[in-house]
Amino acid sequence: MKAILVYEPGGPEALTLADIPVPQPGPKEALVKIAAIGVNFIDIYFRSGLYKADLPISIGQEAAGTVEAVGAEVTGFAPGDRVAYAMARGSYAEYQSVPAAMLVKLPDTVPFESAAAAMLQGMTAHYLTHSTFPLKEGDTTLVHAAAGGTGLLIVQMAKMRGARVIGTTSTEDKAQLALAAGADEMILYTKQDFETESRRLTGGRGVDVVYDSVGASTFEKSLDCLRPRGMMVTFGNASGAVPATQPLALSQKGSLFLTRPTLMHYTLERKELLWRANDVLGWVGSGKLKVRVHQTYPLAEAAQAQIDLAGRGTSGKLLLKP
Ligand code: NDP
């Protein structure tokens, strides 16, 4: 089968289309014939070496497809089942053996493409808005990169929970997309000072929570957008990893809370994974949650997809097709 491997971390050219045997499912695994693959920033971190793994590194964390075979100890899944998964590395491929505990069955109403577009970023938006800082009516949130793949989903879920959403993005076109997704106000952080604007829009009070996937270039200033005892949720590094911070700064800026969460720790138990995935897929199936696919590429063009995602020109999800 064809699969993308990285023999030496580096630039996009490190993504190599290899011919390797179809994997055999282990006793607790299911072999999935992949129909659509989600592209995520984490794939870039493994390719570049920011995140470490044994060589050669299989790339990709998210896909949807059909179960072909199951290991001896697997219950609840059978060949022919339509499934999706996230956070199982090796999805840039035609087939993947995935722990059955990570699989979720797809409702008939959800096409493979929508599932591959929604699982990872959707469950991320879900845990951020429902668990890390459970938004409620009357809360105001600042969402960076609000027109990005994860950003558009956070905006929609924050609105479902009744919060007011102030978003940031780099261009007017992207701002229109975030507004269409439900954002109440947008700040063009490449032109406007987002601290000044957030303070102005909240009458000087500051926002209750910042969801920051941008990282290095937004972190410091985001702390200054919060109300006393507000929460800074730094969950990504699109502009680079956040540098070291002094706990004392959190006190000086208003007894702030700081967390650096990751999806893995919010789906540790099967029950929690199913809660998030079934909410997301259910909402996608009913049309309550809109997933915007920016572009779909052949698997062999994975490098171009990663270049485009890192190049800041995309809004919404990028997919690969095996
Ligand atoms: P996006 O679709 O949001 O793309 C990244 C966006 O970040 C860009 O479109 C751009 O939006 C903005 N950005 C700002 N500065 C830069 C820069 N210097 N280089 C590139 N982009 C920049 O990507 P994803 O939704 O896939 O992921 C966003 C982040 O969220 C990633 O860091 C990812 O690792 C993280 N993430 C974390 C998870 C977790 O559980 N912790 C799970 C999922 C994602 P604009 O043009 O509007 O500025």
CA of residue 18 to ligand 1 center, whole Å: 28
CA of residue 238 to ligand 1 center, whole Å: 4
Question: How does 233-252 read in b/e, with b if 16+ C-beta sit within 10 Å?
Answer: bbbbbbbeebeeeeeeebee
Q: How high is the pLDDT of residue 82?
A: 98
Q: What is the pLDDT along the chain (322 residues), one digit of tens a residue?
A: 999 999 999 999 999 999 999 999 999 999 999 999 999 999 999 999 999 999 999 999 999 999 999 999 999 999 999 999 999 999 999 999 999 999 999 999 999 999 999 999 999 999 999 999 999 999 999 999 999 999 999 999 999 999 999 999 999 999 999 999 999 999 999 999 999 999 999 999 999 999 999 999 999 999 999 999 999 999 999 999 999 999 999 999 999 999 999 999 999 999 999 999 999 999 999 999 999 999 999 999 999 999 999 999 999 999 999 9
- Compute the C-alpha angle 263/278/295, nearest 5°: 70
- The torsion angle over the Cα atoms of residues 60, 64, 69 and 72, rounded to 10 degrees, is 70
Q: How high is the pLDDT of residue 85?
A: 98
Amino acid at 207: V
Scan for tokens 């993947």, then name that residue. Answer: 96
CA of residue 214 to ligand 1 center, whole Å: 6
d(CA 75, CA 72): 9
Sign of CA dihedral 281, 285, 289, 293: positive
CB-side neighbour CA atoms (13 Å) of 177: 23
Q: How high is the pLDDT of residue 285?
A: 97
Q: For strand 95-99 and strand 29-39, is the pairing parallel, antiparallel, or unpaired?
A: antiparallel
Sign of CA dihedral 108, 114, 119, 125: negative
- Compute the C-alpha angle 91/125/300, nearest 5°: 25
Q: How high is the pLDDT of residue 301?
A: 98
The residue nearest atom 11 of ligand 1, judged by CA position, is 145
Q: Is the CB of 234 under 6 A from ligand 1?
A: no
Q: What region, left, alpha or beta, does residue 87 occupy, with left being phi > 0 and alpha being psi -120 to 50 degrees?
A: left
Segments making up each domain of the chain, as ranges: 2-119+264-321, 137-260
Q: Is the CB of 190 under 6 A from ligand 1?
A: no
The residue nearest atom 35 of ligand 1, judged by CA position, is 236
Tokens of 281: 């897929």
Q: How high is the pLDDT of residue 93?
A: 98
CB-based contact 15:306 (threshold 8 Å): yes
Look up the CATH superfamily of 2-119+264-321: Medium-chain alcohol dehydrogenases, catalytic domain (3.90.180.10)
Q: How high is the pLDDT of residue 58?
A: 98
Q: How high is the pLDDT of residue 122?
A: 98
What stretch of H or E contains 319?
strand 317-321
Q: Under DSSP, is residue 196 helix (H, G, I), strand (E, B) or coil?
A: helix
DSSP string, 256-273: -EEE---GGGGS-SHHHH
CATH 3.30.420.80 fits 137-260, yes or no: no
Q: Is the CB of 41 under 6 A from ligand 1?
A: yes
Q: For strand 164-169 and strand 140-143, is the pairing parallel, antiparallel, or unpaired?
A: parallel
CA of residue 186 to ligand 1 center, whole Å: 17
Q: How high is the pLDDT of residue 289?
A: 98
Q: Under DSSP, is residue 298 helix (H, G, I), strand (E, B) or coil?
A: strand
Q: How high is the pLDDT of residue 90?
A: 98
